[in-house]
Each structure stands twice: as C-alpha cells, then as structure tokens.
Amino acid sequence: MSPRVTQRYKDEKRAAILTGALECFVSRGFQATTIDDIVKHLGISKGALYGYFSSKEDMYIQMANKRMDEMVASFSARFKDLPRAVDRITYMFSRIKAQPLQELRKWMSFHMEFMLFASRHPELVELHNRYMDKAIALLSKLIQDGQQSGEFREDLDAESAAFLFWSVRDGLAFHFLLGGQEQRYSEIISDMEDMVLRYLLINPETCT
C-alpha cells in the first residue's frame, strides 16, 4: 500500500511532468533546457522527477512517443467521418493551415531536435522508425483507398507516396521554422496541397 497514492495519481503526475517538460523543451530546446529549468517550472524536486523518469533522454523519448501516437490517433479518428480520400488529404492540409505559425515552429523545433538527437543515438533510430511506419501506414492506407475508389492514380506506389507526403509536409514546416514568407503561410500551404493533389489525382483539373 502506497502512502495513499494510487496508480492513477502516479500516471497523472507522470503526465503532468511530461507536459511541463515538453513546454520547456518546446520553448528552449532539448539541449538548452536543464533539469533545473524543468523542476523549477513544475515546482517539484529533482528527486521527484527522477522517480518518474530515468534521465533527461528518457523524458524526451516518452514525449516523442506520446506525441506521435496522439497525432496518428487524432487523424485516424477524424478520417472515420471522411469517406473520400481526397477529403482526407484536404483535411490534413486544413489542419496544417489552422495551426498558428508560432505553434508550428515550436513543434517543428521539437521534432527536428528529436531527429537530430536520434541520428546520433542509434538505439533511437529504430524507435523513430517504428513511429514513422505508423504514420506512413496511415497515409498509405488512405492512398490505397483512394486508388480503389478511383480517385487516385493506380500507377503510384502507395507507400512511396505516403513517404513523400510526410516529407513534403515536414519540409514545409522546416522552412517556416525560420520565418521567411510569413505573410504567405497559408497561400504556400495551398500550393503544396495543389502540388500533392496533382500528383495523386487522376483528374487534377478538378482541383482548386
């Protein structure tokens, strides 16, 4: 029997720490954020933090896990209401457009820093790829559905196209990270949507 502390309490505390730490990582970056920053931000002690996570790196990994899971889950859920593949693609772009640039930048820097970090820690590459696979599977399914429904070109390899899609999205976010073209943010996203649909659709003339 714990000191009146349930598993639920612990789960919530763990989640709260993750949230607080994420705020720090997102605004200052992983490397620049110190353990002291995090515990001060959360108002807890270092020992408490290390009771829930074994290292700064561990927190980072769990955080990335969580975010990727949530992203995939969120899209999956929404797709249920969108029967047409093209609408799903459109929905994804609308989500990107809807996100304030400020937010996008924070997430993008978190995302980039994680990938850089992972690129120097071989054991993380596999973890990352597992999640990437989920994201690719999500899109790949979408594209295959579109092919079966006659919306998308049959000659495309769905998996490659899915990989391409995420690359394109991240490349865009990547370039918005440093701020050029701010005024044109949504305009450029629309162009990208246009480019992607021209690539996928059988009759691109129908778009725009």
Q: What residue ranges bind DNA (CB under 7 A)?
A: 1-6, 10, 13, 33-36, 44-48, 50-52, 54-57
| Residue 74 or 181 having the CB closest to its own copies | 181
| Residue 10 or 130 having the CB closest to DNA | 10
| Residue 19 or 34 having the CB closest to DNA | 34
Question: Is residue 125 a contact residue for its own copies (CB under 8 A)?
Answer: yes
DSSP letters for 54-96: SSHHHHHHHHHHHHHHHHHHHHHHHHTT--SHHHHHHHHHHHH
Pick the stretch among 26-34, 61-69, 94-102, 137-145 that binds its own copies (CB under 8 A).
26-34
- Hunting for tokens 């505390």 — which residue is that? 13
CA distance 154 to 1: 60
Pick the stretch among 59-67, 95-103, 104-112, 141-149 that binds its own copies (CB under 8 A).
104-112
Judge whether 143 and 156 are in contact, CB under 8 Å: yes
Q: Which does 101 bind (CB under 5 to 8 A by kind): DNA, its own copies, none?
A: none
Question: Is residue 58 a contact residue for its own copies (CB under 8 A)?
Answer: no
For 70-88, b/e burial (b = at least 16 CB within 10 A) is ebeeebeeebeeeeebbeb
Please state the length of the chain: 208
Residue 190 CB, nearest approach to DNA (Å): 41
Question: Is residue 202 a contact residue for its own copies (CB under 8 A)?
Answer: no
CA distance 187 to 193: 10
Q: What is the three-class DSSP state of 23? A: helix
Judge whether 202 and 151 are in contact, CB under 8 Å: yes
Q: Which does 199 bind (CB under 5 to 8 A by kind): DNA, its own copies, none?
A: its own copies
Question: Is residue 137 a contact residue for its own copies (CB under 8 A)?
Answer: no
Question: Is residue 115 a contact residue for its own copies (CB under 8 A)?
Answer: yes
Q: Which does 161 bind (CB under 5 to 8 A by kind): DNA, its own copies, none?
A: its own copies
Burial class (CB in 10 A: 0-12, 13-18, 19+), 91: middle
Burial class (CB in 10 A: 0-12, 13-18, 19+), 21: buried
> Which residues are near its own copies by CB under 8 A?
28-29, 31-32, 105, 109, 112-113, 115-116, 118-120, 125, 128-129, 132-133, 136, 156-157, 160-161, 163-164, 166-172, 174-175, 177-181, 184, 187-188, 191-192, 194-196, 198-199, 204
